[in-house]
Amino acid sequence: MIKKKITKILVPLDGSKNSWRGLELAISIARQFGATITGMYSIYAPPHSEFRGVGSVEKSLKKEVKRFLDEAKLLAAQNGIIFNQRLMRGDIGYNIIKLAHNKKENFNLIVIGSRGRGSVKEIFFGSVSNYVIHTSKIPVLIVK
């Protein structure tokens, strides 16, 4: 008999089809276990960005991210799932792991789409999902 129960699922989102499929699968799992979902979007921000200070680019990106997260929240609500949103800046893989391992959050599962919008493509997985499966201390479900 399985003793662990899934209560909180982390779903990294980037606006890609695979991240959306990951969200749909996470909703299905959440319905079975009565779990909540936290959808996170991490904006890649290198330490010395040439776009620093360009307000119009940042406003446009934030608007797109907000729209995507609102659509995700609506889909979850239509399926009776509580959906929390998190927006982070910095290295995407690092941010996912940092949030997933946060003791206050207490996530049981990460559901992540492979090969999202990342510029570096690896053989089987995207670079972010590859980083997450190799550094996570909690179970990771990769959705293709």
The ranges assigned to domains in the chain are 8-143
Q: Please, are residues 141 and 44 in contact by the beta-carbon 8 Å criterion?
A: no
Looking at per-residue pLDDT, the higher value among 141 and 57 belongs to: 141
* 73-88 confidence digits (pLDDT tens): 999 999 999 999 999 9
What fold does the segment set 8-143 form as a domain? Rossmann fold (3.40.50)
Q: Is residue 122 scored above 60 in pLDDT?
A: no
Q: What is the pTM of this model?
A: 0.85
What 3-state DSSP class applies to 69? helix
The answer on pLDDT for 121 being more than 50 is: no
Give me the residue label for tokens 């940092």: 98
Q: What is the pLDDT of residue 69?
A: 95
Q: Three-state DSSP class for 86?
A: strand
- Looking at the DSSP bridge assignments, the partners of residue 10 are 38, 110
Kindly report, residue by residue over 12-69, the tens digit of the pLDDT. Answer: 999 889 999 999 999 999 999 999 999 999 987 766 555 555 556 677 888 889 999 9
